[in-house]
């Protein structure tokens, strides 16, 4: 716009004293400062937009809020005072991380899995065979905050059982592509986003995590009472 303005001015008379070069150029620092200021404001706004999705724990879930129809199923099997176990690792994965199968040990108390396996592999799968003979596909992964999520790896509408930790801070269903926030479990996108994975309570016993047998035996599939697609 400055070029247009200067172009509209009449040439100075030849007898008039010309402005010193430094006086004409004196406006340049102000122009540069203004441009830099605008760029900095844009960067701050952009940064704030990104930070709005970051929780206090460094996760990517600061502002994600589940809808009422989804929220009633998130953590439905967890005690009100449940405190998740720490995995010993934190942060978002640096490469997409599919589930690694591990061995779980079943006994009268429930099902035990080694905590070190979760810390090392970040995303593991295992199974539990219930007393009625049905097999539950299970998942355990380290959240960005360092807490461990242990639950049933079953995406109800599509019936997918495989989940991948992706670098965008999401848990992505291998079958339908539904993305859920790693930290909160809130659905972000995809056909099954209103159907969160069911988390089950675990207890740290020595170097293992133990899932109580009663919790495993009493688990039920979520009703398909929400929109799909």
Residues 32 and 73 in one domain: no
Residues 131 and 183 in one domain: yes
Under a CB-based contact definition with an 8 Å cutoff, are residues 139 and 152 in contact? yes
Mark out the alpha helices in the chain (DSSP H runs).
2-8, 21-25, 27-51, 68-71, 115-121, 213-218
Is the sign of the CA dihedral 93, 97, 99, 100 positive or negative?
negative
> Do the domain assignments include residue 59?
no
> Do the domain assignments include residue 122?
yes
Q: How confident is the model at residue 182 (pLDDT cuts 50, 70, 90)?
A: very high
Q: What is the CATH number of the domain that holds 75?
A: 2.102.10.10
Residues 6+ away with beta carbon under 8 Å from 168: 60, 92, 179
pTM of the model: 0.74
* pLDDT single digits (tens) 22-77: 444 444 544 444 444 443 433 333 333 333 343 433 344 456 899 999 999 999 99
Residues 98 and 189 in one domain: yes
Residues 94 and 140 in one domain: yes
Query: Cα-atom radius of gyration of the chain, to the nearest Å?
Result: 28
Residues 120 and 176 in one domain: yes
How many structural domains compose the chain? 2
Residues 43 and 85 in one domain: no
In the chain, % of residues over pLDDT 70: 72
Residues 41 and 83 in one domain: no
**Mean pLDDT to the nearest integer, 90-116:** 97
pLDDT for 2 beyond 70 = no
Residues 6+ away with beta carbon under 8 Å from 61: 53, 54, 55, 144, 169, 181, 182, 183, 184, 186
- Model pLDDT, residue 195: 98
Residues 111 and 172 in one domain: yes
> Do the domain assignments include residue 169?
yes
pLDDT for 187 beyond 50 = yes
The number of C-alpha atoms within 13 Å of 98 and in the hemisphere containing its C-beta is 5
pLDDT for 81 beyond 80 = yes
Residues 133 and 193 in one domain: yes
Residues 185 and 83 in one domain: yes
- Domain range for 26 is 18-51
Q: Nearest-CA neighbor of 54 among 96, 91, 94, 86?
A: 91
pLDDT for 15 beyond 50 = no
- Model pLDDT, residue 63: 66
Residues 37 and 119 in one domain: no
Q: How confident is the model at residue 168 (pLDDT cuts 50, 70, 90)?
A: very high
Residues 108 and 170 in one domain: yes
**Cα 27 from Cα 186, distance rounded (Å):** 52
* pLDDT single digits (tens) 199-229: 999 999 999 999 999 999 999 999 999 999 8
- Model pLDDT, residue 64: 86
**Mean pLDDT to the nearest integer, 95-121:** 97
> Do the domain assignments include residue 86?
yes
Measured at the CA of 87, the angle between CA 84 and CA 92, to 5 degrees, comes to 100
């Amino acid at each position: 716009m400055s070029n247009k303005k200067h172009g509209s001015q009449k040439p100075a008379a030849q007898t008039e004293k010309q402005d010193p070069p430094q006086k004409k150029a004196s406006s340049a620092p102000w122009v540069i400062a203004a441009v830099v200021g605008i760029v900095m404001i844009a960067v701050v706004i952009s940064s704030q937009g990104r930070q709005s999705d970051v929780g206090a724990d460094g996760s990517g879930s600061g502002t994600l809020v589940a809808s009422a129809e989804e929220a009633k199923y998130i953590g439905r099997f967890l005690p009100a005072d449940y405190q998740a176990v720490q995995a010993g690792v934190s942060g978002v994965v640096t490469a997409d991380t599919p589930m690694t199968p591990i061995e779980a040990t079943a006994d009268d108390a429930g099902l035990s899995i080694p905590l070190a396996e979760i810390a090392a592999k970040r995303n593991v799968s295992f199974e539990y065979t219930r007393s009625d003979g049905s097999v539950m596909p299970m998942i355990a992964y380290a959240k960005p905050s360092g807490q461990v999520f242990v639950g049933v790896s079953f995406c109800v509408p599509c019936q997918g059982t495989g989940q991948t930790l992706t670098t965008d801070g999401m848990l992505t269903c291998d079958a339908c592509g539904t993305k859920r926030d790693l930290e909160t479990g809130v659905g972000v996108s995809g056909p099954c986003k209103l159907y969160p994975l069911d988390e089950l309570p675990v207890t740290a016993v020595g170097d293992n995590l133990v899932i109580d047998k009663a919790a495993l035996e009493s688990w039920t599939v979520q009703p398909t009472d929400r929109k799909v697609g």
